[in-house]
Amino acid sequence: VGIHEATGYKVAVKILNRQKIKSLDVVGKIRREIQNLSLFRHPHIIRLYQVISTPTDIFMIMEYVSGGELFDYIVKHGRLLVANQFCMYYVVSVFLSSLLRSRFQLKTPEARRFFQQIISGVDYCHRHMVVHRDLKPENLLLDEHNNVKIADFGLSNIMTDGDFLRTSCGSPNYAAPEVISGKLYAGPEVDVWSCGVILYALLCGTLPFDDEHVPTLFRKIKCIRVDEDSDFPNSSVAACSWELFFFSDIHEFVLAGVFPIPDYLDKPLVNLLLHMLMVDPMKRATIKEVIAHEWFQKDLPAYLFPPVNESEASIVDIEAVREVTERYNVPEEEVTAALLGDDPHHHLSIAYNLIVDNKRIADESR
């Protein structure tokens, strides 16, 4: 953590040793993260203010968030259990299952709020032709007001019309079947799958595909295929109930698209999950379809999806400009010129952005 001297605001400082990143062969990963983050201006994507290079180190000056990882929040407030524990609780008694839900499950409004912010950020990335490819709760940070900030764009990639990706990357528990299989994929669809897994984790407190603590994946489920004509038109994904079912490893489990659906999830939510966790990427929900879904639309804040012509930061905050002029003792014209110039890391631009971001965070917390 660092302090921006002119404004007094906290910033996060990511220090990268050049020799170390070269030995770990992550130079390309770091370069992609810097390139993509420097382009983004979104309330739910971590902000990169400045990059300082020295002969030995690279310093990434980033937005400071104090709430930790969403993963830790789920563990603390939810019930993120390993697969065999999850099954055991359901077998012990219905009463215990109900008790666990009432005590440890994230409330639906809170989970929906997190999910809406995540999808807003992912949609912004896709509209700017960037696919994240490693979305998971560990890469979703929370600020002091529990607002989500998407971070770690090291595995992200620029999308080009007509081009397909083949790189198998990301975390297996959140990776789409086509990524695990090494098949060609366009990009956005793999982020949709990962978001579906995250939504499941938020509301169920466990992962749909998990064998983190056991070598063999053993689920107490019975596959019930869903007809195309049903309310859940998802023939390639299985809805499940509690009977014995076995897969040799997590790859087989994910590729089969089989996961347990707890009975306390309501019908619209199950519909959304089944569409997002569709094994066939051509049938999987798109980001636009997720946004339009009735479960997602409930209590949706207007600021998350502003009209396109208002989504870019084209309006200068006059109060922030005046604050910069006072702190640096420069004329307003000089600050405006810095904002309109080609150098996003100009010291006046950095100060302006810090002031605007902290002002927005303060306004949202009221």
Q: Which DSSP string do the residues of 81-103 spell out, in sequence order? A: B-HHHHHHHHHH-HHHHHHHHHH
Say if residue 71 is exposed, middle or buried (CB neighbours under 10 Å; 0-12, 13-18, 19+). middle
The mean pLDDT of 193-203, rounded to a whole number, is 91
Residue 211 is predicted with a pLDDT of 58
The mean pLDDT of 192-204, rounded to a whole number, is 91
Helix (H) or strand (E) holding 13: strand 10-17
Region(s) of the chain under CATH 1.10.8.10: 309-365
DSSP class of 285: P
Residue 188 is predicted with a pLDDT of 83
Fold assignment, 309-365: Helicase, Ruva Protein; domain 3 (1.10.8)
Region(s) of the chain under CATH 1.10.510.10: 68-227+254-304
Question: For residue range 290-300, what is the model confidence (pLDDT) as tens digits?
Answer: 999 999 999 99
Of 17-21, 32-36, 329-333, minimum mean pLDDT range: 32-36
Fold assignment, 1-64: Phosphorylase Kinase; domain 1 (3.30.200)
Under a CB-based contact definition with an 8 Å cutoff, are residues 142 and 69 in contact? yes
* Residue 299 a catalytic site member: no
Region(s) of the chain under CATH 3.30.200.20: 1-64
pTM: 0.66
pLDDT above 80: residue 265: yes
The mean pLDDT of 221-229, rounded to a whole number, is 33
Question: For residue range 154-175, what is the model confidence (pLDDT) as tens digits?
Answer: 544 444 333 433 443 446 777 7
Say if residue 303 is exposed, middle or buried (CB neighbours under 10 Å; 0-12, 13-18, 19+). exposed
Question: For residue range 43-80, what is the model confidence (pLDDT) as tens digits?
Answer: 899 888 888 888 888 888 888 888 888 888 887 776 54
> How is 55-81 classified by DSSP, letter by letter?
SSEEEEEEE---S-BHHHHHHHHS--B
Q: Alpha-carbon distance 168 to 266, whole Å?
A: 34
pLDDT band at 317 (very low <50, low <70, confident <90, very high): confident
Q: Tell me which of 123, 134, 152, 211 is the catalytic residue.
A: 134
In the three-class reduction of DSSP (H, G, I as helix; E, B as strand; rest coil), residue 118 is classed as helix
pLDDT band at 349 (very low <50, low <70, confident <90, very high): confident
Of 126-140, 172-186, 222-236, 314-328, minimum mean pLDDT range: 222-236
Architecture in CATH for domain 68-227+254-304: Orthogonal Bundle (1.10)
Average confidence score pLDDT of the chain: 70
Under a CB-based contact definition with an 8 Å cutoff, are residues 212 and 77 in contact? no
Residues 6+ apart with CB under 8 A from 152: 33, 134, 139
Under a CB-based contact definition with an 8 Å cutoff, are residues 214 and 84 in contact? yes
More confident residue, 278 or 231: 278
